[in-house]
Amino acid sequence: MNPTRRERAILHVDMDAFFVSVELLQRPDLAHRQVIVGRPGERSVVLSASYDCRALGVRSAMPMTTAVRLAPRAVVIEPSQGKYREVSARIMGIFREITPLVQPLSVDEAFLDVTGSMRRLGAPGVIGEHIRDRIRSELSLPASVGAAKNMFVAKIASQRAKPDGLLVIRPEQTVEFLHTLPVSALWGVGRRTAEVLANAGIHSVRDIAQSPLPMLQRMLGAQGKHLYSLAWGRDEREVVTERNEKSIGSEETFAQDERDPSALRVELLRLSHGVAARLRASGKLASSVSLKVRYADFTTVSRSRRLQHPSASAVTLADAATSLFDALWRPGDAIRLIGVRTEQLVSSESVQFSFDRADANWDRAEAAMDRIRDKFQGAGLSPASLLPRESTEREDGT
């Protein structure tokens, strides 16, 4: 391995209970309460849980009914995806001020290659603490950071640093650190693989490292070589800064089957606004829109339509999705899930905008909404048709 590779410095930054932490910014009264983010109902799952709920066994993707049984005193908060994306964009902006080499994995975690930033900002641990301080001071959110010579070890380090901590694994400490861990710490070791290894008397990363490679390959095939390399701290992957998204979409599973076409059209509008905001944030325009409908019997139907002009306007997306929905709808239909997806994405810089004045007006209005949300974190701008019914009734004075 050449000297440059040995000197690589990778950070893995992972926000702590991100959805819960963001919700607590507006609900400080819940700071010392058990909190679960997710939609109430038998069909819903946990999106995030506070650490005291996790201590009771509550986990992300767990059925909400199970989570409430494990943590009956927990406060359940419905998710605010738009708010999470706005905060995520600010976090990623902080990362990109540190280094251009940022690879987001989700809204709340990313890899950063800070090798080129060390001359200006200091050692990896100093940079990691600087990032945590900025996120805490600017956003009032906790973050955990792992620093290591490669992505695999940095990811493990950040998990060991939780909650709200920093762990630096220096290059010369890598093998010693890994060999203290169970086999489940290695990427690719699930329950079945762990059982196969346990049957062979292999329980720790050290055991894998000390096992003959041919034996591991006979037991696990190509995965045996992969795990052997990880056990010795070998991971040559580069931080990938651009992900070419082929589609952007959103869908909603209803707590009860929905039979009201008006309510379904409102839901399509809401989904379209969320998708359009993500398109604009990524600098993309959609050339086509797809509708997904899942009925009560789990039959799933998809339809798509090509747009006259590539667009990131929620109004345009909603019009197309609603038209597709109206062509499918039959009185009496019971719908379990509905979704909107945009496809054939193109860069907004490479497309000449429509000369249609109405299109331009909507584009400007929605872009203005984006700017207001960016400036005033959590600003709840949305079309009047998406406001809660009781709010519109009070405004009408009825």
Query: Residue 268 maps to which CATH number?
Result: 3.30.1490.100
Q: Answer yes or no: are the C-beta atoms of 114 and 100 closer than 8 Å.
A: no
Q: What is the DSSP letter of 305?
A: E
Which residues contact residue 247 at a Cβ distance below 8 angstroms, ignoring those fewer than 6 apart?
A: 290, 341, 342, 343, 345
Q: What are phi and psi of 76, to 5 degrees?
A: -100, 125
**Weakest mean pLDDT among 198-212, 240-254, 340-354:** 340-354
Same-domain status, 100 and 224: no
Catalytic residue among 23, 109, 258, 267: 109
C-alpha to C-alpha distance for 370 and 308, rounded to whole angstroms: 24
Same-domain status, 85 and 162: yes
Q: What is the CATH number of the domain that holds 212?
A: 1.10.150.20
Same-domain status, 108 and 30: yes
C-alpha to C-alpha distance for 344 and 284, rounded to whole angstroms: 10
Q: Answer yes or no: are the C-beta atoms of 18 and 140 closer than 8 Å.
A: no
Same-domain status, 97 and 26: yes
User: How confident is the model over 14-35, as a mean pLDDT?
Assistant: 94
Q: What is the DSSP letter of 163?
A: S
Same-domain status, 200 and 257: no
237 occurs within a structural domain:
no
Q: How many domains does the chain have?
A: 3
Annotated ligand binding at 108? The verdict is yes
C-alpha to C-alpha distance for 239 and 113, rounded to whole angstroms: 6
- Supply 39's token pair: 């939609």
Per the annotation, the verdict on 109 as an active-site residue is: yes
Which residues contact residue 218 at a Cβ distance below 8 angstroms, ignoring those fewer than 6 apart?
A: 224
Amino acid at 160: R
Does the CA dihedral 317-323-325-328 come out positive or negative?
Answer: negative
Position 360 scores a pLDDT of 47
Q: With bands split at pLDDT 50, 70 and 90, how would you rate the model's confidence at 299?
A: confident
Same-domain status, 203 and 80: no
Pairing of strands 35-37, 75-77: parallel
Same-domain status, 15 and 162: yes
- Supply 375's token pair: 């400036």
31 occurs within a structural domain:
yes
Domain limit, last residue, from 130, 146, 167: 167
CA-to-CA separations, 48 to 109, 166, 246, 315, in angstroms, rounded: 14, 21, 27, 31
Q: What are phi and psi of 195, to 5 degrees?
A: -65, -40
2 occurs within a structural domain:
no
Amino acid at 300: T
pLDDT tens for 211-230 read 999 999 998 888 899 999 99
Q: Peptide bond preceding 388: is omega within 30 degrees of 0, i.e. cis?
A: no
194 occurs within a structural domain:
yes
Annotated ligand binding at 14? The verdict is yes
List own/partner pairs for 120-125 with CB under 8 A and 24 or more apart.
124/9, 124/11, 124/168, 125/166, 125/168
Three-state DSSP class for residue 308: strand
Q: With bands split at pLDDT 50, 70 and 90, how would you rate the model's confidence at 352?
A: very low
Same-domain status, 193 and 221: yes
Residue 322 has pLDDT above 80, yes or no: yes
Q: What is the CATH number of the domain that holds 82?
A: 3.30.70.270
pLDDT tens for 181-197 read 999 998 878 888 889 99
pLDDT tens for 225-275 read 999 999 999 998 899 886 666 788 988 888 788 999 999 999 999 999 889
Which residues contact residue 80 at a Cβ distance below 8 angstroms, ignoring those fewer than 6 apart?
A: 22, 23
390 occurs within a structural domain:
yes
- For the CA atoms of 56, 61, 64, 67, the dihedral, rounded to the nearest 10 degrees, stands at -10
C-alpha to C-alpha distance for 200 and 182, rounded to whole angstroms: 14
239 occurs within a structural domain:
no
Same-domain status, 197 and 264: no
β-pair partners for 54: none
114 occurs within a structural domain:
yes
β-pair partners for 166: 145
Q: Helices 261-281 and 314-328 sit at what angle, rounded to 10 degrees? A: 140
- Structural domain including 378 reads 247-396
Same-domain status, 199 and 255: no
Same-domain status, 386 and 303: yes
Position 242 scores a pLDDT of 65
4 occurs within a structural domain:
no
Domain limit, last residue, from 146, 167, 188: 167
Same-domain status, 77 and 198: no
